Amino acid sequence: MIKKITLITLALLTAAATAFSHTADYENAGTNQYKKIRLFSDVYQNSDLSSIRLRDANGKNIPYFINSNSSVKSAENAEYPLSLIDSYVKDDLFYFDYKLAEDYKGDVIATGISFESSNNNFAKQVTVYGGYDNRNWEFVTGNMIYKIDGNSALNINFTEENKYTHYRLELQNNLEKISFSTAKLIYNKTMFSELYFTNMISPKFEVEEISDKKETHIKVSGISKLRLKSIDVISDSIFQRTATVGNISKEIYNLNFEGQKYMDRGLDLNGYTENEELLTVVIQNGDDEPIEVKTVSVNYYVDELIFESTENVTLEFGGDLKKPEYDIAKSKDEILKLNIDEMKFLSLNMGVELEEVVEEKDYTIWFNITIVVVAVLLAVMFLLKLRKK
């Protein structure tokens, strides 16, 4: 029984001491309130992201959230002048007909129409029609334009993009006989896209020729469990072959015509993950000689940890813990709008047991539990001996 108690005690102590077997240290940088560190391949290959933890110098947990991409905002703007080709009155309605002042190659896409007027103190309901000649018109939109006491709104936004070459304005009750000195189509479009974080590595590989299948097998190591974006086969050979990873195939090539080089040596993997130790790239050679592979380049998706700190931090990974829930995650959108400093990577320690820093990591509860368990077991043993006597 004493032996069993000892084994249980050692197991509990080991669980407490080796909750994390790998660490990485980072140095504080910058003066902003929030910091970030970018994860690397060892983290993905040796842990579940839900179990990683950040610690300060005293071993205290630092709340964080995981961010995988950044939003990229881009704007496209253009203006196309219009020429007035006709204006007239019909049934108490006033009409102004316009067409594009210049001929353009391809479609002219517009998101609105804008005017300038020397008239003042007016407000008019305007209906806009569009067409491809000066005879057939289609309703586009309606809105109010005005110019009162120095305030004006002479732009009309369309509900959708239009490609008309002619535009007609219909005004109601134009007793003031307002006119427009200029008119132009406008194109304003703001686009948002997500840019996912990636790292590039040149992993170790071995090449094996499978003669009976007329295939070259490139066996890549050190990238298991990574979410792969792409893999490039770098070679000086002239080739045009089909490359396959898993169920993903693509024609890759490296060609040279009269001194002009054409190349696409990359295979898009779209987040493919290989759980085995080796990832195999299969190249179909047909009756051609195998290509000479110089190196392999791999792009994989990574994440960032965002947190608040003014000190150096330690990243711990390799444990078996549940995903933490921190309040900071609720403010993710607001925090990502701020300036965030990236901490400097200092060192990586793989396979490090943490017995020496148990107190710093505040594992007191484990020792308390152990003591209670041992006390209970000893009490049970004592009572059993009394009963036997």
DSSP letters, 47-99, are --GGG-EEE-TTS-B--EEEE-EEEEEEEEEEEEEEEEEEEEEETTEEEEEEE
Give the pLDDT score at 7: 45
Give the pLDDT score at 33: 95
Work out the number of other CB atoms within 10 angstroms of the CB of residue 253.
13
Give the pLDDT score at 356: 33
Give the pLDDT score at 24: 94
Asked if residues 346 and 74 have their Cβ atoms less than 8 Å apart, the reply is no
Handedness of CA 105, 108, 109, 115 (dihedral sign): positive
Which DSSP symbol is given to 286? T
For the chain, the distance separating the N- and C-terminal CA atoms, rounded to the nearest angstrom, is 18
List the chain domain ranges.
74-193, 198-301
Q: How big is the CA angle at 12 (ends 6 and 18), to the nearest 5 degrees?
A: 125
| CATH for 198-301 (1.10.10, 3.10.450, 2.60.120, 1.10.1060) | 2.60.120
Distance of alpha carbon 318 from alpha carbon 110, whole angstroms = 55
Give the pLDDT score at 354: 42
Instruction: State the DSSP string of 306-359.
Output: EEE-SS-EEEEES---PPP--GGGGGHHHHTTS-EEEPEEEEEE-S---GGGTT
Asked if residues 130 and 88 have their Cβ atoms less than 8 Å apart, the reply is no
Give the pLDDT score at 92: 82
Asked if residues 122 and 139 have their Cβ atoms less than 8 Å apart, the reply is no
Give the pLDDT score at 16: 43
How many residues are given for the chain? 389
Asked if residues 243 and 281 have their Cβ atoms less than 8 Å apart, the reply is yes
Give the pLDDT score at 172: 83
Give the pLDDT score at 61: 93
Give the pLDDT score at 8: 46
User: Are 74-193 and 198-301 equal in CATH topology?
Assistant: yes
Distance of alpha carbon 7 from alpha carbon 272, whole angstroms = 43
The answer regarding whether domain 74-193 maps to CATH 3.50.50.60 reads: no
Give the pLDDT score at 91: 83
Q: Which of 146, 155, 143 is nearest to 123 (CA)?
A: 146
- Pair type for strands 34-38 and 340-342: parallel
Handedness of CA 8, 350, 229, 190 (dihedral sign): positive
Give the pLDDT score at 371: 74
Distance of alpha carbon 377 from alpha carbon 156, whole angstroms = 83
Give the pLDDT score at 71: 67
Per-residue pLDDT of the chain (389 residues; tens, 9 = 90+): 444 444 444 444 444 444 567 999 999 999 999 999 999 999 999 888 888 999 999 999 999 999 998 766 678 899 999 999 999 988 888 999 999 999 998 899 999 999 999 888 888 899 999 999 988 999 999 999 999 888 889 999 999 999 999 999 999 877 778 889 999 999 998 777 678 899 999 999 999 999 999 999 999 999 999 999 999 999 999 999 999 999 999 999 999 888 888 999 999 999 999 999 999 999 999 999 999 999 999 999 999 999 999 899 999 998 778 889 999 999 999 999 999 999 999 999 987 544 333 334 455 666 667 777 667 777 767 666 666 55
Does the predicted TM-score (pTM) go above 0.85?
no
Give alpha helix (H) positions in the chain. 2-17, 41-46, 332-335, 364-388
Q: Which of 180, 176, 221, 225 is nearest to 42 (CA)?
A: 225
